[in-house]
A and B are shown apart, each in its own frame.
Chain A
């Protein structure tokens, strides 16, 4: 049992929370994982605080649960998996260390949200490769560490993007910097030499950032991260393409991404696009949804410093040929939605209330990765399962995001429900857990398993579980970091 006074000695009294009502906020989230109340919540202010907290946790065998984003949480990874835990709330670490136009990179602490980082990089004429409408409180570092899909597949060379380097205190208590940040030299010395912490791999024959990503805080606590940024376009022209047939849009997406033409490029169903664009509920939502075809492709053309008009006009003409072959027609408006309005919306964090909560107050996401050929069948499988479970299929949001420059597709099904309605909640919960095996059998890869389903998914691959546990023993030998998550 950890003593409060020892926590106070590290982070000061004002940054240790022990009031039951406050602890209750960290005991559960909007996922279906069981509630477990932490013993304390601590709010470190700097790297040194974190190092001391980990040292103390090792001495007292206290589980630590790192949290970077503010509430509401959705995936259960920040809910303690065992009793007696201390939540390490990093949301107050908000220093933006650097935004570097020349090398297209930004560096920041884990508490920095998208709304806070976007203006800072915009001042340097840079932009982030954003996930789809993150909530206001979402930490940028956490989003990258969770390998969340991003909207611009042409700039998503690797599934780890846009994460570059991190500084981490491993569960073993040792500080480590990944990639080019490792050294030689301090960050300041590296900057002076011309370095920018943009090389994520290494040093040498290991890429530690990949082990930290996707680990849900089970390896250590990240104290800063650097993110690859892209240039702010000088000109943009977005388009919408509608179809009742997903395969037609997929064909167009394949060629758009293969030729690396658009920046933002994603497919939504009418339910999700209406949920994103509606301002007045439910009338706007219904009207927009009814005005749209089942599937909508959104893409955005961009020009930069040199001949932006010529670049975009050339791309528009090239896309006409591709779209014609796919049997679809791009336009600036579709139904009640303007492509320019949608562009503004997706280049920022979600307005309040968070877009996934607007319909019914709660939402469960089922998501996985697959390849081009399997997206259609997996969408049908999920729709069939929803229908069988009694979930109204037309109310299910669907988001398909090409990632890794078209080698992968993130498929996401948003199950909106009323959390006050026990029957509805139970139905969604059963659907969320009951479809995993049938989706996997048809080519769904759950690369980011959270909450209740993670054991089912991890157990499909015993060799990987064994190897991951060996790595865990290297980095967190006392198993103090977020126990109970994934296969740990």
Chain B
């Protein structure tokens, strides 16, 4: 369905002709979001490239007036970018400025197309660090851009829902709302109030994924960084050799005989507040992170690792603030590991490997390899969030499905130890099932459907909460009646702040009756 010319002319008037296009050569390039598979379906009707909030607002208002839908995204990833008929794309790539890094108040303000690596590099020069989304440092640094915004630093640096400070929001129908101190006094340090906090409607533990207007600027908390301003690097891609281990830094991997012993160790480390990062990676994820190029290398490392581990395990990274602090934290770590029967994976302690792990874990350059791996379609399930033990049991339960799919040849056998992560020193947790579909499988989507169906049934019947893969009307309508009818309230937000349904919401929730 072609756009009406007066609408297209309106876009040109807002942006200038060079920043809007309906050329199929251009729209086709937006029809294939990362890893969504080929071929994809519909294209966007046009692509727009606004440079500031005012232009975004003008596009949104024009769409509302002409009953055209829009989908905004910044760096974009995976499922959240469905094109469709009568829908245009708002590509925020020209909004790529770091607006402020406030060193003393430890916050940064960014536009949507500032990527994590860019913000982090600027922060590290100032002795600060930012939480990066687990999707990788090539993704937007806007805490509102990521699906959840959990990452490797979440043990000590939390995640997007809780790092968010003030922000600017163009609502679905084109109003500009500046939350918190930004609206009252034009400052970025607080996102809540006056009175009730509108942060409550613009995201939860997941994001509306572009279904509730456009977030154009946002401030987030920063954290102390005791490491170097930059990491020295040798080698060329993909064989970088980041062998530098900053003073006071340490990476270890420990595995345990049982999941309960691992949970015990994770909670004790959290309570002792000694870890900067703690991710319950399994052997396959540790191997993927270390491998530099091809499946054979990765499998070789994995085979070595899997024979060395006792069972479930975790990567723990200490980044101490002083020599005294480092000694204390090392001693406590050893005490806890001794108490819980943890076994170290020696390859991780090799200085060259360890330096690489430090770099990749802080810079989040290995996320895709850890989670999606290479050379095969990824499958899996994104769990929810509550206590660390609850999330551990949830993923353990879901791993039974993975074991069956491994047994019937649908998935590569990369083990069934769960991936879980500890957040805010063990106060909360999150977990995911990650799997790699066999290249011999003819319909990878069917394998994913099996995992989805099983995990949804487990989440509801065994009371594991609402997972973070719950998007779309179908899933909300499945979970909502089991969870305080939240879907009805979510739908009211959508209807209230986007009455014309202009903000494309198939990955959020639609305003259907």
Interface residues of A (CB under 8 A from B): 102-104, 147, 157-160, 174-177, 180, 182-185, 189-190, 192-199, 201-216, 218-219, 228, 231, 254, 258-260, 304-307, 310-311, 314, 317-318, 369-373, 404-408, 440-441, 443-449, 454, 457-458, 460-461, 463-464, 466-468, 470-471, 473-474, 486-487
Instruction: Let me know if A445 and B465 touch, CB within 8 A.
Output: no
Q: Which residues of A contact B470 (CB under 8 A)?
A: 204
Q: From known contacts A203-B204, A463-B183, A471-B201, infer whether A102 and B389 are also in contact, taking CB-CB under 8 Å.
A: yes
B206→A194 contact, CB < 8 A: no
Q: Mark B8-44, 1 if CB is under 8 A from A, else 0.
A: 0000000000000000000000000000000000000
Contact with A along B461-488 (1 / 0, CB 8 A): 1111110001100001001001111110
CB <8 Å contact, A160 and B271: no
Least Cβ distance of A407 to chain B in Å? 5
A197, A228, A369: the one contacting B190 at CB < 8 Å is A369
Docked CA distance A460–B183 (Å): 8
| Contact of A199 with B328 in the complex, beta carbons under 8 Å | no
Chain B residues with CB below 8 A from A177, complex form = 484
In the complex, the chain A residue whose C-beta lies closest to that of B475 is: A204
Query: How far, in angstroms, from A408 to B183 measured CA to CA in the complex?
Result: 16
Q: Is the CB of B192 within 8 A of A159?
A: yes
Task: Contact check, A306 vs B177: say whether CB atoms are below 8 A apart.
Answer: no
| Distance of B464 from chain A, by nearest CB (Å) | 6
Asked if residues A464 and B178 are in contact (CB atoms below 8 Å), the reply is yes
Interface centre among A372, A445, A454 (most CB of B within 10 A): A445
B506 CB within 8 Å of chain A:
no
Chain A residues with CB below 8 A from B384, complex form: 180, 199, 202
CB contacts (< 8 Å) of A103 on chain B: these are 387, 389
The secondary-structure label for the interface of chain B is mixed
B314, CB-defined interface residue at 8 Å: no
- For residue A209, which residues in chain B have a CB less than 8 angstroms away from its CB? 200
User: Which B residues are in CB contact (< 8 Å) with A216?
Assistant: 195
Complex interface: chain B residues within 8 A of A486 (CB): 194-196
Contact check, B107 vs A470: say whether CB atoms are below 8 A apart: no
Min CB gap A201→B, angstroms: 4
Supplied contacts A202-B204, A206-B486, A464-B184, 4 more A-B pairs, CB within 8 Å:
A157-B162, A207-B205, A213-B197, A370-B189
Q: Which of B158, B179, B193, B272 contacts A306 (CB 8 A)?
A: B272
**Residue among A192, A254, A311, A405 making CB contact with B221, cutoff 8 Å:** A405
Q: How far is the CA of A129 from the CA of B258 in the complex (A)?
A: 34
Residues in B neighbouring A213, C-beta threshold 8 A: 192, 196-197
Contact A198 B198 (CB under 8 A): no
| Chain B residues whose CB sits within 8 angstroms of the CB of A195 once the complex forms | 386-387, 390, 463-465
Q: How far is the CA of A407 from the CA of B178 in the complex (A)?
A: 18
Question: Looking across the interface, which residue of chain B has its beta carbon closest to that of A464?
Answer: B183
A260: B residues at CB distance < 8 A: 224, 273
CB-based nearest B residue for A259: B321
Are B197 and A211 interface neighbours, CB within 8 A? yes
Chain A: minimal CB distance from B131 (Å): 11
Residues of A within 8 A of B485 (CB): 174, 176
Docked Cα-Cα span, A486 to B390, in Å, equals: 39
Instruction: Give Cα A203–Cα B476 distance, bound, in whole angstroms.
Output: 10
Known contacts A259-B224, A311-B328, A440 near B185 by CB under 8 Å: yes
**Interface hits, B208-237 → A, CB 8 Å:** 208-209, 212, 221, 223-224
Is A214 in contact with B201, judged by CB distance below 8 angstroms? Answer: no
Chain A to chain B contacts (Cβ below 8 Å), 10 pairs: A185-B463, A204-B471, A205-B204, A205-B207, A205-B208, A208-B489, A210-B199, A215-B196, A305-B271, A318-B325
Contact B161 A194 (CB under 8 A): no
User: A219: which B residues are within 8 A, CB to CB?
Assistant: 196
Q: In the complex, what residues of A have CB within 8 A of residue B487's CB? A: 204
Which of B204, B271, B476 has its CB near the most chain A CB atoms (within 10 A)?
A: B204
Do B508 and A445 touch (CB < 8 A)?
no
Contacts of A215 in B (CB 8 A): 195-196
Q: Is B332 an interface residue (CB 8 A)?
A: yes
Please tell me if the beta carbons of B208 and A184 are within 8 angstroms of each other in the complex.
no
Residue from B104, B191, B223 with most neighbouring chain A CB atoms (10 Å): B104
Smallest Cβ distance from B234 to chain A, in angstroms?
32
B187, CB-defined interface residue at 8 Å: yes
**Chain A neighbourhood of B162, CB < 8 A:** 157-158, 201
Report Cα–Cα, A214/B196, bound state, in Å: 5
A189-B463, A318-B325 known; A214+B184 contact, CB < 8 A: no
Q: Which single residue of chain A is at the shortest CB-CB distance from B220?
A: A407
Q: Is the CB of A183 within 8 A of B484?
A: yes
A446 to B392 alpha-carbon distance, docked (Å): 41
Tell me, in angstroms, the Cα distance from A199 to B192 when the chains sit together.
Answer: 18
Report A-chain residues with C-beta under 8 Å of the C-beta of B385: 180, 199, 201-202
Q: In the complex the two chains form, what is the Cα distance from A121 to B484 in whole Å? A: 28
Q: Which residues of B contact A449 (CB under 8 A)?
A: 193-195
Q: A147 and B192 in contact (CB under 8 A), knowing A201-B204, A371-B187?
A: yes
Q: Is the CB of B490 within 8 A of A205?
A: yes
User: Is B459's beta carbon under 8 Å from chain A?
Assistant: yes
- Report Cα–Cα, A464/B186, bound state, in Å: 13
- The residue that A307 contacts in the complex, of B203, B332, B461, with Cβ under 8 A, is B332
Kindly state whether residue B60 has any CB partner on chain A within 8 Å.
Answer: no
How far is the CB of B334 from the nearest CB of chain A, in Å? 10
Shortest CB-to-CB span from B437 to chain A, Å, is 27
| Closest 9 pairs between A and B when the two form their complex, measured CB to CB | A447-B193, A210-B200, A185-B463, A183-B483, A461-B183, A180-B386, A184-B482, A211-B200, A314-B324
| Structural contact, A445 and B193, CB atoms closer than 8 A | yes
Q: Is B305's CB within 8 Å of the partner chain A?
A: no
- Residues from chain B with a CB closer than 8 A to the CB of A210 are 192, 196-200
Q: Which residues of A have CB within 8 Å of B424?
A: 157
User: Considering residues A104, A177, A205, A454, which has the most beta carbons from chain B within 10 angstroms of its beta carbon?
Assistant: A205
Whether A183 contacts B198 by the Cβ 8 Å rule is: no
Return chain A residues, CB-CB under 8 Å to B493. 206, 471, 474
Asked whether any CB of chain A lies closer than 8 Å to the CB of B7, the reply is no
A473 to B106, CA, bound (A): 36
The distance from the CB of A320 to the nearest CB of chain B, in whole angstroms, is 11
B412 at the interface (CB under 8 A from A): no
**Chain B minimum-CB-distance residue to A311:** B328
The chain B residue sitting closest to A154, CB to CB, is B273
Beta-carbon contact of B177 and A446 below 8 Å: no
Question: Do B181 and A369 touch (CB < 8 A)?
Answer: yes
Chain A residues with Cβ under 8 A from B293's Cβ? Answer: none
Task: For A463, list chain B residues within 8 Å (CB).
Answer: 175-178, 183
Q: Say yes or no: is B306 at the interface (Cβ < 8 Å to chain A).
A: no
A175-B196 contact in complex given A199-B465, A307-B332, A371-B105, C-beta closer than 8 Å: no
The docked-state distance in angstroms from the alpha carbon of A226 to that of B62 is: 45
Scoring B426, B465, B509 by chain A CB atoms within 10 A of each residue's CB, the highest score goes to: B465
A208 to B486, CA, bound (A): 10
C-alpha spacing A10/B271, complex, angstroms: 45
Q: Does B497 contact A (CB under 8 A)?
A: yes
Interface 1/0 per residue, B272-284 and A, CB below 8 Å: 1100000000000
A182–B386 alpha-carbon span in the complex (Å) = 11
Report how far A196 CA is from B208 CA in the complex, Å: 25
**By the criterion CB–CB under 8 Å, are A445 and B185 in contact?**
yes
Among A203, A448, A464, chain B packs the most CB atoms within 10 A around the CB of: A203
Please tell me if B180 contacts chain A, counting CB pairs below 8 Å. yes
Chain A residue numbers with a CB within 8 Å of B204 are 201-207
Closest approach, in angstroms, between the C-beta of A276 and any C-beta of chain B? 27
B185–A443 touching, CB < 8 Å: yes
Given contacts A201-B205, A211-B197, A463-B175, contact A407 B486 (CB under 8 A): no
Are A461 and B194 within 8 A (Cβ)? yes
**A399→B83 CA distance, assembly (Å):** 53
Asked if B365 CB lies within 8 Å of chain A CBs, one says no
